[in-house]
């Protein structure tokens, strides 16, 4: 398969992309439009908001972003007309049957035209409301597949999941699809009944509503309920639990259509394409970087020897494109769903201890700026390599202040109520976040990427320009990438926000 044949595969194709305002979906869209001008059509599914229509969201949150700068410069004045001739933004929601697309005529048109579906819709909050996460991450996968069964020309459904569906398991995590009803080690019950989960969510909501709670209290209760159900079945948080259920709900559509799951690890800024360092939103470790750089935290929690599994967003997209082109022909039905994991822990790991010192080195040379325009100085962080040491640190350094503030508030007839409540909330939030991030900061998992590496070797053996479709994790020099690309991208994003 030559380079032109990877791109040629998308010539004349119609593609449906869900989760179109998400990070990976935008990188995918930009690359297809830039490299394959003869793609027929791209349907982009997104939800309307109370303030923005789908078209407005598309213009502001997708093509209006810096990511499309190269494409915009390439086409100049023709940019808008080219985009409008290829891209169709759609109002819809994977949480509903028929993806929430109300126009019956449009649905029929899509069913007759679509060749490829890329399902990247997800809510990635670790502690999302259980009903919301279940609707999008679990039922959403089924609704996308059900929609795909009606597409007469469909030859590929690519489902974007996460490598962390493996939970807190230790050792080498295989590229293997889940079996329906499977639970993880540590589960308190032996079988996961997804239909039962749907029922308990409805019952929980009814119970909360009969108590006449505020929407805020219901949200808090449903977040806690998600964590409770996840841990009951062996997963550490609502996000990975509902993503695992989404995988279980997938199956081969028919003999002519392949279903492939791609599981990235922690996605970071672009490595090279369309330019280095593009990022949007703060992910797991990015939030720690910003909090440390702003002086909000002075410690790091985690196992120094734990591999923090990072992968640049453009490498994930390059892998997605290669997967779609490679699996354009039907595979052996016995093979079932194929899984590709893409990350760095197996072939080019970066240790958490290294990452912390990279952050310190960058911030010493390029400090973040406070609200007064002055550089924020950071000191070497305190290393807390166990959860008990974290709890002791909080108890010694922060709780006494909160307790004194509480006493002063009581003596002064609630004069310090606002400050006391705020301080107590920040402590509780820190403890909750530490518990949510614990599986990643103390991870003992290595993610097998044999399928992904075999795919890369197959492509490399056919004289393809690997710069254009590079997903070789071993080529990343972490000190150079983090110091000169990724952290720079985060700082730029924070400054722009």
Q: Give the Cα-Cα-Cα angle 312, 316, 318 (nearest 5 degrees).
A: 115
Average pLDDT score, the chain: 89
243 labelled catalytic: yes
Please tell me which residue in 41, 142, 243, 356 is annotated as part of the active site.
243
**Cβ pair 476, 312 in contact under 8 A:** yes
pLDDT for the residue 373:
86
The band of 1, judged by pLDDT with boundaries at 50, 70 and 90, is very low
Please tell me which residue in 239, 340, 352, 437 is annotated as part of the active site.
239
- How confident is the model over 27-56, as pLDDT tens digits? 999 999 999 999 999 999 999 888 889 999
Looking up tokens 């019956």, which residue turns up?
104
Q: Greatest CA span in the chain, whole angstroms? A: 77
Q: How far apart are CA 142 and CA 183, in angstroms?
A: 19
DSSP state of 120: -
142 labelled catalytic: no
Residues in a beta bridge with 89: 44
SS (H, E, C) 132-145: HHHHHHHHHHHHHH
pLDDT for the residue 377:
93
* DSSP 3-state of 398: coil
**Beta-strand runs (E) in 138-207:** 156-160, 171-173
Q: How far apart are CA 47 and CA 202, in angstroms?
A: 23
Nearest CA to 279 out of 90, 67, 455 is that of 67
Q: How far apart are CA 178 and CA 164, in angstroms?
A: 13
- How confident is the model over 367-423, as pLDDT tens digits? 999 888 899 999 998 888 888 888 888 777 766 655 665 566 566 665 556 665 666
């Amino acid at each position: 398969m030559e380079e032109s044949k990877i791109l040629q595969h998308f010539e004349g194709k119609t593609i449906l992309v869900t989760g179109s305002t998400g990070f990976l979906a935008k990188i995918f869209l930009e690359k297809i439009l830039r490299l394959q001008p003869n793609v027929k059509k791209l349907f982009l599914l997104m939800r309307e908001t109370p303030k923005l229509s789908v078209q407005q969201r598309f213009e502001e949150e997708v093509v209006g972003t810096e990511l499309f700068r190269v494409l915009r410069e390439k086409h100049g004045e023709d940019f808008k007309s080219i985009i409008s001739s290829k891209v169709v933004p759609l109002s819809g929601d994977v949480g509903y049957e028929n993806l929430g697309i109300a126009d019956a005529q449009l649905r029929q048109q899509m069913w007759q035209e679509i060749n490829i579906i890329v399902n990247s819709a997800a809510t990635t909050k670790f502690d999302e409301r259980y009903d919301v996460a279940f609707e999008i991450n679990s039922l959403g996968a089924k609704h996308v597949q059900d929609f795909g069964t009606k597409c007469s020309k469909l030859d590929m459904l690519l489902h974007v999941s996460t490598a962390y569906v493996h939970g807190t398991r230790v050792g080498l995590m295989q590229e293997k699809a889940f079996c329906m009803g499977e639970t993880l080690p540590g589960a308190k019950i032996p079988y996961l009944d997804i239909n039962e989960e749907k029922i308990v969510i409805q019952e929980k909501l009814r119970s909360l509503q009969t108590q006449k709670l505020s929407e805020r209290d219901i949200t808090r209760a449903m977040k806690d309920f998600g964590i409770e159900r996840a841990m009951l079945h062996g997963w550490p948080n609502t996000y990975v639990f509902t993503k695992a259920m989404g995988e279980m709900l997938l199956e081969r559509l028919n003999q002519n259509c392949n279903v492939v799951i791609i599981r990235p690890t922690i996605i970071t800024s672009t490595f090279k394409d369309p330019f280095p360092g593009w990022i949007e939103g703060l992910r797991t470790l990015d939030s720690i970087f910003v909090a440390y750089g702003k002086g909000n935290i002075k410690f790091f929690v985690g196992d120094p020897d734990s591999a923090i599994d990072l992968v640049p967003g453009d490498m994930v997209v390059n892998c997605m494109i290669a997967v779609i082109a490679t699996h354009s022909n039907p595979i052996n039905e016995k093979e079932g769903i194929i899984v590709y994991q893409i990350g760095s822990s197996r072939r080019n790991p970066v240790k958490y201890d290294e990452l912390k010192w990279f952050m310190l080195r960058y911030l010493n040379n390029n400090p973040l700026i406070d609200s007064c325009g002055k550089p924020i100085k950071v000191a070497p962080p305190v290393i807390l390599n166990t959860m008990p040491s974290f709890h002791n640190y909080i108890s010694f350094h922060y709780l006494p202040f909160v307790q004194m503030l509480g006493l002063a508030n009581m003596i002064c007839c609630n004069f310090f109520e606002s400050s006391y409540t705020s301080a107590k909330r920040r402590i509780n939030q820190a403890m909750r976040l530490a518990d949510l991030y614990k599986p990643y900061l103390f991870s003992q998992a290595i993610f097998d990427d044999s399928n992904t590496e075999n795919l890369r070797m197959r492509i490399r053996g056919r004289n393809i320009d690997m710069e254009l479709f590079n997903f070789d994790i071993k080529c990343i020099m972490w000190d150079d990438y983090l110091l000169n690309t990724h952290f720079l991208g985060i700082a730029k994003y924070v400054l722009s926000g």
